[in-house]
Structure 1
Amino acid sequence: MREIIPVIRVRNDYGDVDVRDGVILCFFMRRSHEELAPAMWRALHAYRRAITPRALNWYGADDGDTLPLDDQGWEHIREKMLERPWAGAARHVSLCEESGEAGGYHFNYDGLQFAHPLNSHKKDATSAVSFSFPTEYLLEHGPAHLRALALELARELPFSFGYASLAFVSHPGIWYGVRRQLLGLLERYLGLDLYLLSETSDVIGTGARGAYWLTFLGQPLLGQLGGLEVLRDKLSFPEVSMEPMEGERLLLTLGEWPDAMDTEKGAPPAQYRALARLLEPYFCEEGSVLPPMTPGYMHRWLRRLCL
């Protein structure tokens, strides 16, 4: 399968890899950190058990520095997630494989305190989490293994929307430095996600972001789409499978393997287009003040499969 999944290494002006190919798994939850903390801690440990031993080597300290993730570091993360009293509007946790270059393994969590005055006007904000993997993990273990792990993590989390996809993997925000170099890749590989966890979580509410290899639908979105039976009728493709989950939630799988959707090799699969069109009325609006990823560009890019 490596021949149909591109090898991506985007380097900055100093020669460091800022972006690489991989797989991203994201969940968005309209819940405060206090409600999410125990489940998030269990999900983090499930992720840690599944990946290469000690693949998470660094963490983002409160002062912005990056420190080795040793036993003392893990205790700091545990206290931050489970015990430390609230001192602000959000709780941020970032763990990674490499401190400088973009490694394949990342855990990023933004947990909000919705009662905080700074969040009172954010009617569409959510708490959010992402787990990333290098493409080599997918190739070594296979898509069934990664799908089972995604389900295990999803069962822990009260998501309204989530997804797993091939992606441009990077440290949070680092890809902005090479964003112009990404433009051609974004236009060629429609199946590689450009994930913006903190930006998306500010605006997604209980909506959607796109159609993905694994698309997790929670409430109220699943109900707004008509529920399981309506989706069975509208997504009656042999490649599509549907797995109901506890709490009136659903996992849609759009194929055995994730698809890079290389435009030089053909059009995107029909099932992706069909799901994107169903979800389009619920898409969020994103965008940066930094060109070229302006709101207009992101509006079009998020709808790239709806045509």
Structure 2
Amino acid sequence: MRKAIPVIRIPSMRSDVEVRDGVILCFFMRCSHGDVASAMWRALQAYRRAISPNALNWYGADDGDTLPLDDKGWEHIRERMLERPWAGAARHVSLAEATGEAGGYHFNYDGRQLEHPLHWRKKGATSAVSFSFPTEYLLEHGPAHLRALALELGRELPFSFGYASLAFVSHPGLWHGVRKQLVGLLERYPGLDLYLLSETGNVIGTGARGAYWMTFLGPPLLNQLGGQEALREQLCFPEVTFEPMERERLLLTLGEWPEAMDTEKGPPPAQYRALARLLEPYLCEEGGLWPPMTREYMHHWLRRLCR
């Protein structure tokens, strides 16, 4: 299976790896931080148990510094997520395997206070979280293990939309420096996600971001798509499995393994295209002023499987 997943290593000018191949798992919740804090902490602990004890080593401090994630650091993170009173519109938690390079394991959480003046007028603001894994984790444990872990994490969270996918994995702050190097790879491998958690979390609302290896659908999006039975009729592919979840939610898995979709070897699988076309009316709009990932570029890239 390794042959079907490209090895991506994009170095910085210092020769540190700024982007690598991996797997990303994201959830978007139209809820304020206070409503999901306890569930988010439980999900983080489940992620922590599933990975190597030394996989998360650093965290972003309040002053912007990066500090070792020791016992004192974990207590600081617990207090930040569960106990500290609100002091603004958002709460950010960033944990990483390595500092100065991409690593494979990251936890990033943007908890938003939707009642805050900066957010309450935005229909698209959500609290959002991402968990990343190196490709080696998938290959060592297998796709069934990762799917079970994704389900465990998803059951904790009141998501409207979520997904798991092969991805370009990096620290959030490193994308800007390597964006031009990613364009060719994005075009060749449409199955590798370019995740922009903070930006997506600001605009996705109760919409979608695309069709992925694992696609989590919750209310109201699932109902807008016609519900589980309608999706079963429209996605009648042997590769697609349906996993009903509590609170009227659903996990769609589009194949045993995730697909990089190397365009030099053939078109994307039909089941991905079919789901992408169903989701197209609900896709969010992303993109800023940092070429080449402009709003126009991201509009087309997010719809790459609809064509």
> Which TM class, normalised by the smaller chain length?
over 0.9
CA distance in 1, matches of 2:85, 2:95: 21
Residue 115 of structure 1 is matched in structure 2 by 115
Structure 1 residue identity aligned to 2:100: G
Residue 141 of structure 1 is matched in structure 2 by 141
The alpha-carbon deviation at position 288 of structure 1 amounts to 1.6
Residue 239 of structure 1 is matched in structure 2 by 239
CA distance in 1, matches of 2:125, 2:32: 10
Residue 164 of structure 1 is matched in structure 2 by 164
The alpha-carbon deviation at position 54 of structure 1 amounts to 1.8
Secondary structure of the residue aligned to 2:122 is coil
Mapping of residues 45-56 of structure 1, within 5 Å? 45-56=45-56
Residue 251 of structure 2 is matched in structure 1 by 251
Is 2:44 the partner of 1:9? no
Structure 1 residue identity aligned to 2:158: P
Deviations along 1:57-112, one digit per CA (max 9) or x if unpaired, are 00000111110000110010000000001111111000000011000000000001
The alpha-carbon deviation at position 173 of structure 1 amounts to 3.0
Residue 82 of structure 1 is matched in structure 2 by 82
Structure 2 residue identity aligned to 1:32: S
CA distance in 2, matches of 1:184, 1:213: 22
The alpha-carbon deviation at position 120 of structure 1 amounts to 2.3
Deviations along 1:134-155, one digit per CA (max 9) or x if unpaired, are 0000000000000000000000
Structure 2 residue identity aligned to 1:85: P
CA distance in 2, matches of 1:14, 1:122: 39
Residue 151 of structure 1 is matched in structure 2 by 151
Q: TM-score, normalised by structure 1?
A: 0.99
Mapping of residues 126-205 of structure 1, within 5 Å? 126-205=126-205
Secondary structure of the residue aligned to 1:118 is coil
Deviations along 1:250-304, one digit per CA (max 9) or x if unpaired, are 0000000000000011110000000000000000000020100000000000000
Structure 1 stretches of 4+ moved >4 Å: none
Residue 288 of structure 1 is matched in structure 2 by 288
CA distance in 1, matches of 2:117, 2:235: 42
Q: TM-score, normalised by structure 2?
A: 0.99
Computed over aligned residues only, the root mean square deviation of the Cα atoms, in angstroms, reads: 0.6
The alpha-carbon deviation at position 187 of structure 1 amounts to 0.4
CA distance in 1, matches of 2:118, 2:294: 25
Secondary structure of the residue aligned to 1:162 is strand
The alpha-carbon deviation at position 119 of structure 1 amounts to 1.7
Is 2:302 the partner of 1:305? no
CA distance in 2, matches of 1:251, 1:118: 32
Residue 69 of structure 1 is matched in structure 2 by 69
Secondary structure of the residue aligned to 2:118 is helix
CA distance in 1, matches of 2:294, 2:123: 22
Structure 2 residue identity aligned to 1:8: I
Secondary structure of the residue aligned to 2:101 is coil
Structure 1 residue identity aligned to 2:32: S
The alpha-carbon deviation at position 14 of structure 1 amounts to 2.0
The alpha-carbon deviation at position 53 of structure 1 amounts to 1.3
Secondary structure of the residue aligned to 1:117 is coil
Structure 1 residue identity aligned to 2:128: A
Secondary structure of the residue aligned to 2:107 is strand
The alpha-carbon deviation at position 33 of structure 1 amounts to 0.5
Aligned length: 307
Secondary structure of the residue aligned to 2:237 is coil
CA distance in 2, matches of 1:121, 1:115: 9
Secondary structure of the residue aligned to 1:49 is helix
Structure 1 residue identity aligned to 2:49: R
Q: Percent identity?
A: 81
CA distance in 2, matches of 1:280, 1:7: 30
The alpha-carbon deviation at position 123 of structure 1 amounts to 1.8
